[in-house]
Structure 1
Amino acid sequence: SRARGSSLEFVDYRGYAAGDDLRWIDWNLYGRSNELFLKQFEAERALAVHLLVDASRSMDYGTPNKLVLARQVVAVLGYVGLVGFGEVSVAALSDEADLVFGPASGRSRAPALLAALGAVEPRGQTDLSRAVATYAHRRRTPGLAVLVSDLLSPTWEAGLRRLLAHRSEVVVLHVLAPEELDPAPAEEVRLLDRETGRTVDVRLDRAALDRYRQRLGHWCGAIEALCARSGVRYQRLSTATPLEEVVLERLTRGGILR
């Protein structure tokens, strides 16, 4: 709904865009700022924006860190949702789904959004299927659902299908670290599963790395193919990519941000 009217509750301003109803321009504000702003009313808030960030221990990895990039990306998306009249909710996923922010609307809630994301810390293992089911039960309103995860949960595919069953438009932002995308050779290295605590000693010679890169490519390709078949927008993000480039190149040109 794009209904507007003086009987509705005023909540915020936004910049004028071509085609907007001129009746709702705040001319007093224009006189002070020489810029056009439209008054926003509660009935304009139609889109539910569900931002789901993987907060499992596997995300606490990489230089730069995967969870740090995930929080930054969710902060950008959440801010855009708030000022664009979305009803924004943010959940941290592990084996459960903790609603850490929202549902909320309006630019004034941006500081609370940033504070909530800053408090998200890695913990436990992630069961994406269970976590998404928990979230969907609490927040039933369909809209736009963005999952930001390394997808290392064995149940990622079931989690994706649960999001689709939520009747939301789904976006998957697949976050991986440079050490995962292109590991360096090593004579001997001990690998630690951050979620289970298990370790394994391996030798990362050229042959082992070639096999690893091949399997990684197949795995990422399978995820991207499933997303394409399901009508899900997919972007793979490296934490080595600066946030500005992630936003301007990957999210904007990928049609996730407009």
Structure 2
Amino acid sequence: MSSAVAESEPLLTPDLLARLERLELVSRKVFRGNIKGERRSRRKGQSVEFADFRNYVPGDDLRLIDWNLYARLDQLFLKLFQEEEDLHFYALVDCSGSMEFGKPSKLRVAKQLAAALGYIGLCRADRVCVSALGPPGRSAPVLRGRSNLWRMLQYLESVDGGHNVTLHDGVKDFSIRHSGSGICVLITDMMDKTGYESALRMLVGRRMDVFVMHVLSPEELDPPLRGDRRLIDIEDGDQTEITINSFVLERYRETVHAFIDGVKSFCSRRSIAYIPVATETPVDVVVTNYLRKRGVVR
């Protein structure tokens, strides 16, 4: 399949949509939702599903006392029910110039991943916001319910690359516009000359459950280049001339792997889940298999 055809196809196929409906986003933290939803909470509340008993305390609602148990034990117990709550889910898509590289492009894969995870959240009545880290001021809608799938896909299809906003500025703009806590998945290639550290610290500081999906293309891991080349930075236009031979390629691979290991280490020290994603891997395999093993969905 040619890259042009792949880029023009829908972000989510009908078959993948059907498979996504059976999944659920997983949070490693407990968040207090704004309104009730379909997600089972670890907190006890009021619903039709019984959860547990606890001793009666003066001031408790008398309607929740189990009078049958009182008749048998001569003690007052309250019935507790499982509370259902909504969850905030945020998918942040890096739209910098470097994300346009590859076949399919890293940006295309990032949008597919955001769409897939967002749809899982919509199916579970979570509050979903899929946002591009592009020009400051571009607002993304907060959606709820699977009927809003078309709005989310319409927004993502309108997202283009080449917006060379730093990760720090993109996350800062997002944080100003969205104050809720919840699951936050940052989908990026981490290629920012100003660094990625401050952006991740900002998300962790908001007590988000943060996941980083590090998207890279095969050409970046093992460039198919030889001979005299002029390399041009796609984001700031910096140029350098270089002769590429086996020694240079080996040093390049070592540098790339050191960079990846550095990102992994930084994330691990801050309880950020790090998930590498290769653009040649089909999105349905990444979401329904790989992310399930990593605990992002179940």
TM category, shorter: 0.7 to 0.9
Determine the C-alpha separation between the residues in 2 that align with 1:98 and 1:175: 23
RMSD (Å), alpha carbons: 2.4
**Partner secondary structure for residue 243 of structure 2:** strand
Which runs of structure 2 are paired with 1:73-88 in the superposition (5 Å)?
73-88=113-128
The letter for the 2-side match of 1:193 is: D
Asked if residue 62 in structure 1 is aligned to residue 123 in structure 2, the reply is no
**Partner secondary structure for residue 183 of structure 1:** coil
Q: What is the deviation of 1:159? A: 0.2
Report the counterpart of residue 120 of structure 1 in structure 2. 159
Contact 2:34 2:85 in 1 (8 A): no
Asked if residue 141 in structure 1 is aligned to residue 180 in structure 2, the reply is yes
Q: What is the deviation of 1:235? A: 0.6
Contact 1:3 1:44 in 2 (8 A): no
Instruction: Name the TM-score, length of structure 1 as normaliser.
Output: 0.81
Distance 1:3 1:232, change over 3 A: closer
Aligned partner of 2:203 among 160, 163, 170 = 163
Contact 1:95 1:130 in 2 (8 A): no
Report the counterpart of residue 219 of structure 2 in structure 1. 179
Aligned partner of 1:110 among 149, 158, 173 = 149
Determine the C-alpha separation between the residues in 2 that align with 1:2 and 1:46: 5
Determine the C-alpha separation between the residues in 2 that align with 1:221 and 1:105: 37
1:89-126 alpha-carbon deviations (Å, 9 max, x no partner) = 121113636333x2110000011111111110002313
1:191-220 alpha-carbon deviations (Å, 9 max, x no partner) = 221111222222221100100010111110
Determine the C-alpha separation between the residues in 2 that align with 1:197 and 1:47: 41
Q: What is the deviation of 1:2? A: 8.5
Contact 1:144 1:169 in 2 (8 A): yes
Contact 2:90 2:182 in 1 (8 A): yes
Distance 1:164 1:97, change over 3 A: farther
Q: Name the count of aligned residue pairs.
A: 227
The structure with the larger Rg is 2
Instruction: Name the TM-score, length of structure 2 as normaliser.
Output: 0.71
Unaligned stretches of 5+ residues in structure 1: 15-19, 24-42
Report the counterpart of residue 37 of structure 1 in structure 2. none
Percent of paired sites with the same residue = 33
1:225-256 alpha-carbon deviations (Å, 9 max, x no partner) = 11111000011111011112211332111111
Q: What is the deviation of 1:127? A: 1.0
Which runs of structure 2 are paired with 1:237-248 in the superposition (5 Å)?
237-248=277-288
Report the counterpart of residue 38 of structure 1 in structure 2. none
